[in-house]
Structure 1
Amino acid sequence: MLRLRIASLAAAFGVLSAGAQAESAPLPDKLTYKDTFNLEYPAAPFFLPDGDKLVYERRSMDIMSDSTHSSLWQIDIKSKQHRPLLAGDDSVRNAVLSKDGSMLAYISNASGSAQLYVRYMDSGQTARLTNVSYAPGNLTWSNDGQHLAFTMFTPVKPDSLFTGMPKKPDGAKWAEPAKYIEKTRYRADGAGYLPDGYSQIYVLPVTGGTPRQLTTAEYPHGGSLTFSKKDDWIYFTADKQDGYALRPLGSDIYRVSTTTAKVEQVTDMKGPESSPLISPDGRWLAFSQLDDRKLSYQTGDIVVMNLNNGNTTRLTGSLDRGIGRFVWNDDSDELIFSYLDEGNNRLARVDLDGDIDKLDVTIGGQSMGRPYTSGSFAVSSKGDIAFTTAETMRPADLALYSRRGNTTTLTDLNSDALDHLKLAKVETLPVTSSVDDRKIDAWMALPPDFDASKSYPMILEIHGGPHAAYGPHFSMEVQLMAAQGYVVVWSNPRGSSSYGEDFGNLIHHNYPSEDYNDLMDVVDAAVAKGFVDSKNLFITGGSGGGVLTAWSIGKTDRFAAAVVAKPVINWVSFALTADAYPYFSQYWMEAMPWEVADKLWDRSPLSLVGNVTTPTLLLTGEADYRTPISESEQFYQALRLQGVESAMVRIPGAPHGIAGKPSRLIQKVGNIVAWFERYRHDGESEE
């Protein structure tokens, strides 16, 4: 990142030295697409044992590799000294500190592939501990600091059907051999077609050597690991039941002996258990648990088990909100956790009796594309909490919330990139649903140099999920749209997460439905402000937002143009082509898709394509296996048959998360704005 900015300054000085002509060219005072590469944000903070120093991942955009680069930086809480810890050319991730703080384990690609390294904190010496073919994950220290446990994909011999293929003559050029698939989960978005094998648990001495495989069973292991107090067991999540691939929410907590590799089941509750975490004193096992009722939106709880007698206590049952990450305090008498609430990600404490203390802390700032909820935090031995901040006009910084309730900002990562630019101001937009008078949270970004006496074009940006949540958070996509002179509006219609199960399940087996009405109420509220041009309304959204965009233009012609990103167009075809088809067919549908095809068709945007007159752009990644590009192709071809002005943008190699690379974020926003500019009525609004 530093090199990029030095290069940018050098380039700027080079232009100035070309002559007086350059002196008259003003520097941009609003965001440009290239500014995407200048952003940074913190992630994965953790304290050193004394609680006076904080380490975090500093993530920046690498313009040369078109990727997110991660380095480790350290902050002295008292002196505010901020310096690099591991900040070379190679990206560092999954860093974890030993219990005594003497060693730091992490994953790096310094050798050309993802390997496990350890750094000695007193001397700064580093050593590579592994030479493995697949990337280690979920690094976990033993309590005595002598071993590291991790998970790693371990291949098995692939299945085959036909074994009588004749031998190929030397020098012959034959077609690639056939790929034989005989498993339910055979491809995944972002990973493509999956190799044969399973994630297994390994343990490795910190002095190096050969990782020892502890688990061998042919069932999936997932998520975090945690050592027992005496380091004789490792607790993990797995689903060992037959037919696990058709049980998308089936998992229990198990433990494996670090000496004999014996596996024992620990929990057996209705619904999935996951994220095991042993308390520092070794007496309690905390984990998340979901009472699975086959609803499309369900919120789980934190449960603790007394390891002496096996009794369990549900701690957060009174909180009707989605629970995120949780950690123990050093005294083992309470947990600090995050939870979603009305478009924000907040923190709270809960003791072993289930008494919840909500903290005045909102975390976020890590969703660089769209204004989704996000955020991470850490708790020190002193009870202080470090967290990533949630702000409207810049990505996250790190802040400290002391046990006394004071908040101090520790970093300033983006002033150099943003302070000299005019950004869009974000305001709350009050909305009441015309369906049932419910409050619908909404926000709007006002373009730089906004003047309420003028008339502006407006973009309605719809979130995906559909069980997800936007909030009043920084979004590069929103800011780039606003920089082009648009008022940008986003909201949480019924079905959104962070408002409890009842609100989320208003669209259970009924999606899309009145969430469309909520969105139109949001548009009406924006137009009523008086500075939005009703002839220059535009609509877009991705995934679930793509569904609602396509549905909306089948219901109304009020929008001048639409961009439908990575949508579901036909629920029947989606259910039988999406990577997570066992989940979608059981939780989002009343029965198998061929049994309720008429009901699914009634909720499919394709059923309304005959009504569409709005000029429409389809935008999807070609490697999207979550909402496959065949969905976009269906809608595109139907629109062309209808004679509707339409086009399709295909992002090569991009999975469902199109904006995973900085250049793809730029391509996404740039194409959306360019399509809207084509249909913007210049005589009706001022730029």
Structure 2
Amino acid sequence: MSKRSVQVDDFTSLQVLSDPQFAMNGQDFFYVSTTIKDKKNYESHIYRYNQQKQSQWTYGHHQDSHPRVSPDGTRLVFQSNRSGTNQIWLMSLLGGEAEQLTTLTHGATNPEWSKDGKTIFFSALLDNDDDVQSQRELTKEEKEKKQNEKKKQPLIVNRLKYKSDARGFHDDKSMQILAYDLQTKQITPLTCGGHHHYFQDVSPDGNTVLFTANLNENEDEELYLDLYTLHIPTRKITKINQQKGSFYQAAFSPTGKYIACFGHDFKYMGATLTDLYIFDLNNQTETCLSYQWDIQLGDAMIGDTRLGASQTGPVWNKDETALYFIATDHGATGLYKSDLNGHLEPIYHNHSHVFGFSYDSKSDAFIFGMSTPTDPGNFYYIKENGKMKQLTDANKDYLNRVTLSEPEEIQFTTSDGWPIQGWLLRPYGFKEGKKYPLVLEVHGGPHAMYGQTYFHELQLLAAKGYVVLYTNPRGSHGYGQKFVDACRGDYGGKDYRDLMEAVDYALKSYSFIDETRMGVTGGSYGGFMTNWIVSHTNRFKAAVTQRSISNWLSFYGVSDIGFFFTKWEHGYNLLENPEKLWDFSPLKYAKNVETPLLILHGEQDLRCPIEQAEQLFITLKHLKKEVEFVRFPGANHELSRSGEPQLRIERLNHICRWFEKHL
């Protein structure tokens, strides 16, 4: 059977795997599979891998996630919105229906077991005076009535951090840590107050909870996250870290002697590489294991189909001599190990995207999730120094039906001596001797990374007959601290030149590219750069700017991150140097735009608010430039990755339409 080309809505048929969790026998594991239910909704279910077979454990048109197996291996706790709001549910692994444990008005999330299996810790948004014992979940009708009443009331704002792209406008509720006693079936709040408390781990003896929070009086003006322990019997809270910074993904060692976590000190603001820290609780010492590594810890890969959270580390080995984690390096992510002296070595690192893992201390084995440019993702089994074994075969039918383009890596040196990595996809049905149009894709961030992962939009453009070029210009992760910091204070400078020289390199190296038919697109920072490109060169014949930034003067005050991000990336706040911010703004150069420009933006985007698109559109339209503006109702900054499926389809259709018209 001949394979067809990729189609716009193919992403709706994908099964996206995440969050592998070993069962107690060290062989079976649970995981989450997310699919698209219909034009408006996603659904996710929990599966079990047992003796080389996969079986579905939860059903229905809802979202089940965060499965965690009890220490004795007999029960599974998870979160689900099957009742209408995310709550905590429990099921026996011997069979039977799931039991709902919580009925909190605003839901409950992220359950974790105590080491003795008697308590389940979880998180919930609470008001200061909430009585968790008497709370009940609202009915659908009650929710709708409350939402309608809220829409009629004015919003009183007295904080800098009063909105976020993920939550929308904030209220007075804060994230708290609670404990559910399985014997008494009572819920006990462990934290309270107006500050968010983020659960990290519980000590081996069950007496201490580890969490992160900013408990400072000026928390509203800071982005620090400190590390704390809470002694449950006495409620005593102790701060662990000594230096200022942001600490997260923290975990007790098996004996409780140490804490390991990721974090950084904001030395390079948002471009600071993540470090790996060890805290010795007995000696009250703090050690940075990664100070010589020059590698980004965690997963900085950009894609448009990855759904669901997964563990990226750090995770302790069984005898407290090493830590396991994912790290980002040169267009790929891998699974790594470090001893307590900072000796770094890979367990698995190849041309791929390792997006999550689970470690079993009994067998010293790993289950890890991995994606490649031609595979949306599967789970694999590996032991240290052992052979890798594929366990799942998700999306087999889809991959047997379509032709995917395998990326060709490019590497070149810029005119000022910087090495740049990128990739090129040849179009579907490629024939030697024929000329093809090119589309340059620019990633967001800017401190993120293109690389060896499945990316539906890139494959779609190749399927539509375009050569697709995507690179990691300076400012991207994966190439060390100096590289990721290099675009700060220089937006539209050498980062722009890197992209233009990448196009020059591709034209010189691949004779099948038609330099008279080139397009460019990108989102967020990539949208800013698209705006910058079309206002500084006419070499592109079409452009699509997505969720973009056009005016840094207004971005400062309207974005949920503008009040600090502007200073981080440009060195100035609005009142400190408005002239410099205007110089960085593509809107200043709108009169130079000759490239037909399509503007795509979500109505509810609070990260790069839609007024950025409105200013650009009105200005270009007033200047009688060729421009079109598409607004996506209800969509936030995550439209391309996790937005409403029908709107994601519409977005891709508009991109293809614009390039087809002009290229």
Shift of 1:156: 4.5
Residues 49 and 505 from structure 1, CA distance in 2 versus in 1: closer, same or farther, beyond 3 angstroms? same
In 2, the alpha carbon distance for the partners of 1:455 and 1:216 equals 64
Contact 1:477–1:665 (Cα < 8 Å) also in 2 = no
- Structure-2-length-normalised TM-score: 0.91
Query: Which residue, out of 125, 128, 133, partners 1:153?
Result: 125
Shift of 1:176: 2.8
In 2, the alpha carbon distance for the partners of 1:203 and 1:615 equals 57
In 2, the alpha carbon distance for the partners of 1:300 and 1:588 equals 17
Query: Which residue, out of 358, 361, 380, partners 2:349?
Result: 361
1:339 matched to 2:327 = yes
Worse overlay, 204-213 or 454-463: 204-213
Contact 1:363–1:376 (Cα < 8 Å) also in 2 = no
In 1, the alpha carbon distance for the partners of 2:493 and 2:330 equals 21
In 1, the alpha carbon distance for the partners of 2:254 and 2:59 equals 31
Counterpart for residue 518 of structure 2: 537
In 2, the alpha carbon distance for the partners of 1:42 and 1:618 equals 32
Counterpart for residue 666 of structure 1: 649
Between the aligned residues of both structures, percent identity stands at 30
How many residues of Structure 1 are paired with residues of Structure 2 in the alignment?
Answer: 627
Query: Over aligned residues, Cα RMSD in angstroms?
Result: 2.1
Shift of 1:363: 8.8
Counterpart for residue 253 of structure 1: 227
**Secondary structure in 2 aligned to 1:576?**
helix
Contact 2:253–2:320 (Cα < 8 Å) also in 1 = yes
Contact 1:512–1:603 (Cα < 8 Å) also in 2 = yes
Letter in 2 for 1:667: E
Letter in 1 for 2:69: L
Gaps of 5+ in 1: 1-25, 159-172, 366-373, 681-687
**Secondary structure in 1 aligned to 2:486?**
helix
Report matched runs for 1:155-234 at 5 Å: 155-156=127-128, 176-207=152-183, 209-222=185-198, 224-234=199-209
Query: Which residue, out of 99, 105, 108, partners 1:133?
Result: 105
Contact 1:458–1:532 (Cα < 8 Å) also in 2 = yes
**Cα deviations by residue, 1:519-571 (Å, 9 ceiling, x for unpaired):** 11111122220111111100000000001111011111011111111111111
Shift of 1:175: 9.8
Counterpart for residue 622 of structure 2: 641
In 2, the alpha carbon distance for the partners of 1:658 and 1:386 equals 30
Counterpart for residue 624 of structure 1: 605
Letter in 2 for 1:200: Q
Residues 347 and 565 from structure 1, CA distance in 2 versus in 1: closer, same or farther, beyond 3 angstroms? same
In 2, the alpha carbon distance for the partners of 1:546 and 1:57 equals 32
In 2, the alpha carbon distance for the partners of 1:57 and 1:133 equals 25
Query: Which residue, out of 83, 89, 92, partners 2:64?
Result: 92
In 1, the alpha carbon distance for the partners of 2:37 and 2:174 equals 32
Shift of 1:364: 6.1
1:508 matched to 2:488 = yes
1:411 matched to 2:392 = yes
Query: Which residue, out of 13, 20, 30, partners 2:5?
Result: 30
Shift of 1:667: 1.6
Counterpart for residue 306 of structure 1: 280
In 2, the alpha carbon distance for the partners of 1:518 and 1:423 equals 27
Query: Which residue, out of 521, 527, 531, partners 2:507?
Result: 527
In 2, the alpha carbon distance for the partners of 1:484 and 1:102 equals 50
**Secondary structure in 2 aligned to 1:610?**
helix
Counterpart for residue 369 of structure 1: none
1:443 matched to 2:417 = no
In 2, the alpha carbon distance for the partners of 1:536 and 1:524 equals 14
Shift of 1:124: 4.3
Shift of 1:210: 3.5
Moved over 4 A (4+): 362-365
Letter in 1 for 2:491: Y
Report matched runs for 1:16-55 at 5 Å: 29-55=4-30
In 2, the alpha carbon distance for the partners of 1:597 and 1:606 equals 14
In 2, the alpha carbon distance for the partners of 1:290 and 1:380 equals 28
Shift of 1:150: 1.3
Shift of 1:276: 1.9
Contact 1:142–1:227 (Cα < 8 Å) also in 2 = yes
Report matched runs for 1:504-583 at 5 Å: 504-528=484-508, 529-583=510-564
Letter in 2 for 1:353: N
Residues 607 and 668 from structure 1, CA distance in 2 versus in 1: closer, same or farther, beyond 3 angstroms? same
In 2, the alpha carbon distance for the partners of 1:294 and 1:493 equals 18
In 2, the alpha carbon distance for the partners of 1:312 and 1:28 equals 56
In 1, the alpha carbon distance for the partners of 2:123 and 2:350 equals 32
Query: Which residue, out of 212, 223, 226, partners 1:237?
Result: 212
- Structure-1-length-normalised TM-score: 0.88
In 2, the alpha carbon distance for the partners of 1:42 and 1:572 equals 41
Shift of 1:384: 1.4
Residues 175 and 104 from structure 1, CA distance in 2 versus in 1: closer, same or farther, beyond 3 angstroms? closer
**Secondary structure in 1 aligned to 2:48?**
strand
